[in-house]
Amino acid sequence: MTRRQGTVVVVDDDRLFRRLLANGLAEAGWQVEQDDGSATVVPRIAAMAPDVVLLDLNLDGKSGLDVLRELSATRLDLRVIMVTGTEEVATAVAAMRAGAFDYVTKPVDFGVLEASLGRAAESLRVERERARQRDRGDGRFSFLETRSPAMQHVYDLVRRVAQSETTTVLIQGESGTGKEHIANLVHQLSPRREKPFLEINCASLPEPLLESELFGHEKGAFTDAAERKRGLLELADGGTLFLDEVGEMAPSIQVKMLRVLERMSFRRVGGTEDIRVSVRVVSATNRDLARAVEAGTMRRDLYFRLKVVPIDIPPLRRRPDDLAPLAEHFLAEFAAAFGRSFRRIDEGAMRVMRAYEWPGNIRELRNCMERAVLLHDGPELTAEMLQIPSAMDGSGEEAGGLLDRLRRIGEAGIPEGGIDFEEIVGSVERLLIRKAAEKAGWNQSRAARYLRLNRDKLRTRMRNHRMGGPSAD
């Protein structure tokens, strides 16, 4: 039995062509409706409520571009794919700027059409799911879409550890990888979700102030203590306390935190009374705490108390399959926030994003998309809008960073923490392929000659790195 794909309306004034498309799509699992594109086409489409509309650019007595504009004005929940002649590509591009999701040319290659329909349906599914999350009010704490096995493992750990009320969690990862988001998920999925989730950055406050913020203080405990203050541990009773950058905590405070984890009790600064609480402690760090233990800046006993369940978040550069869904997620988020009409990211922009290392990880990607959406409008996000190094110029910043890494390894050897061999080799390969492709104008045959590879090997490597290119000959 063919799997149902969704509903598509074929709008074309050529009856034979319309039927041929409809029959082929029905065999592929689509529920198909047909329309000849006459004056009342837009209200008829609205009544059908399809997922995708295949719209011919040249209708009898009516421009497909006009129909597209009318559909866009109705804000119907659908995607439009234009069907054009090969000589009308420039007009098709204008149609995409007016809100079309994609276009295909006549004679229609059915494989190309199916791929375009699949992308349109997936785009619509993601948008509808985000809308459902916004309606439920829990979008902030949702699992961001991932295709990365490493992140799927992270989410599996989050679900399992959330079932416990007290297990401590240590979230480890580079700056910007989403440690706070994961901490929030642990809390929101746990039985403590109705109680407070409080957080503090241990690197942002001097030792006396951090101590007071965590444990509170009694009136007169120090010069500025004009009245009693309850600390975060007290205020988070029944809920979760998130200690960000826990590796920066001073040794004296580490001793007190160890007591909290062992006994669930503490004293305010200047106090004599033990205060009992029930708090789950979730910590995060971008430092190597095992090395900090060896260096004597982190207590070994506290380290093991904090990392009952360690969760390691991989950097974005090791999650290449997640780049597109994350970018699309942020594009939709900011388009809605700023009232922009962006609906997709073009292949050139995706190629630039895949080539970039993203040292700031998801935070940098989110900021990049926010800036692009704020300063431009859609419906299509292009490479020129991104303002990331490889998009703005060919200055070799990426190559320089790569050479610096290799030079450090050459001078100092392999560090104790090891290196990511596949990531480094992949970066070299991506860089060389992109430079050759750019020199060849993305002609794959010429690029292969520059690299002394045969074309099939080059194409395989480009597919592995998800690098596009206009031509093969």
pLDDT of 396:
47
Name the one residue in this structure whose structure tokens are 């407070």: 196
Give 234-288 pLDDT, tens digit per residue. 999 999 999 999 998 999 999 999 999 999 999 988 888 899 999 999 999 988 8
**Contacting residues for 29 by C-beta, under 8 A, at least 6 apart:** 2, 3, 4, 5
Same domain as 75, residue 179: no
Same domain as 249, residue 101: no
**Contacting residues for 152 by C-beta, under 8 A, at least 6 apart:** 146
353-364 residues labelled b (16+ CB within 10 A) or e (exposed): bbbbbbebbbbb
Q: How far apart are CA 450 and CA 301, in angstroms?
A: 57
204 DSSP assignment:
S
State whether residue 316 is helix, strand or coil.
helix
Asked if residue 469 is part of any domain, the answer here is no
pLDDT of 134:
47
φ/ψ of residue 423, rounded to 5: -65, -45
Q: How far apart are CA 152 and CA 146, in angstroms?
A: 7
CATH number reported for the structural domain that contains residue 364 in this entry: 1.10.8.60
End residue of a domain, out of 312, 341, 370 = 312
Same domain as 99, residue 71: yes
CB-CB neighbours of 34 under 10 Å: 15
Same domain as 155, residue 84: no
pLDDT of 230:
86
Same domain as 301, residue 154: yes
141 DSSP assignment:
G
Quickly list H helices, 60-201: 64-74, 89-97, 110-136, 149-162, 179-188
Q: How far apart are CA 287 and CA 300, in angstroms?
A: 15
pLDDT of 394:
41
Same domain as 386, residue 460: yes
Angle between helix 64-74 and helix 41-48 axes, rounded to 10 deg: 50
Same domain as 340, residue 230: no
Asked if residue 158 is part of any domain, the answer here is yes
CATH number reported for the structural domain that contains residue 246 in this entry: 3.40.50.300
State whether residue 11 is helix, strand or coil.
strand
pLDDT of 313:
93
Asked if residue 125 is part of any domain, the answer here is yes
Contact call for residues 158 and 186 (beta carbons, < 8 A): yes
Asked if residue 70 is part of any domain, the answer here is yes
Retrieve residue 8's tokens. Answer: 């598509």
* Structural domains of the chain, count: 3
**Contacting residues for 467 by C-beta, under 8 A, at least 6 apart:** 351, 354, 355, 430, 433, 434, 437
| First-to-last C-alpha distance (Å) of the chain | 40
CATH number reported for the structural domain that contains residue 102 in this entry: 3.40.50.2300
Q: How far apart are CA 376 and CA 283, in angstroms?
A: 38
**Contacting residues for 276 by C-beta, under 8 A, at least 6 apart:** 264, 265
End residue of a domain, out of 312, 330, 358 = 312
φ/ψ of residue 66, rounded to 5: -65, -40
Quickly list H helices, 376-396: 389-392
pLDDT of 358:
86
Same domain as 163, residue 127: no
- Residue among 290, 295, 298, 198 at smallest CA distance from 246: 298
Residue ranges making up the domain that contains 198: 149-312
Same domain as 349, residue 248: no
Q: How far apart are CA 388 and CA 172, in angstroms?
A: 27
Q: Give kind and range of the element (H or E) at residue 353.
A: helix 347-355
Asked if residue 470 is part of any domain, the answer here is no
Residue type, 471: S
End residue of a domain, out of 312, 339, 357 = 312
Q: How far apart are CA 92 and CA 57, in angstroms?
A: 8
State whether residue 42 is helix, strand or coil.
helix
Same domain as 423, residue 334: yes
Asked if residue 124 is part of any domain, the answer here is yes
Asked if residue 473 is part of any domain, the answer here is no
Retrieve residue 206's tokens. Answer: 């001097």
Contact call for residues 354 and 386 (beta carbons, < 8 A): no
Asked if residue 143 is part of any domain, the answer here is no
Same domain as 272, residue 365: no
φ/ψ of residue 200, rounded to 5: -150, 140
Q: How far apart are CA 384 and CA 471, in angstroms?
A: 21
Same domain as 329, residue 299: no
- What are the distances in angstroms from CA 393 to CA 144, 165, 370, 389, 398? 31, 51, 21, 6, 11
Contact call for residues 114 and 28 (beta carbons, < 8 A): yes
Q: How far apart are CA 60 and CA 15, in angstroms?
A: 12
State whether residue 471 is helix, strand or coil.
strand
What does DSSP say about strands 265-266 and 275-276: parallel, antiparallel, or unpaired? antiparallel
pLDDT along the chain (473 residues), means of 10: 70 90 90 87 86 88 84 80 78 76 86 86 72 47 75 90 89 91 91 89 86 88 79 91 92 93 90 90 92 92 94 90 90 88 88 85 91 89 79 46 67 70 79 82 83 86 67 45
- What are the distances in angstroms from CA 365 to CA 34, 192, 261, 319? 41, 31, 36, 13
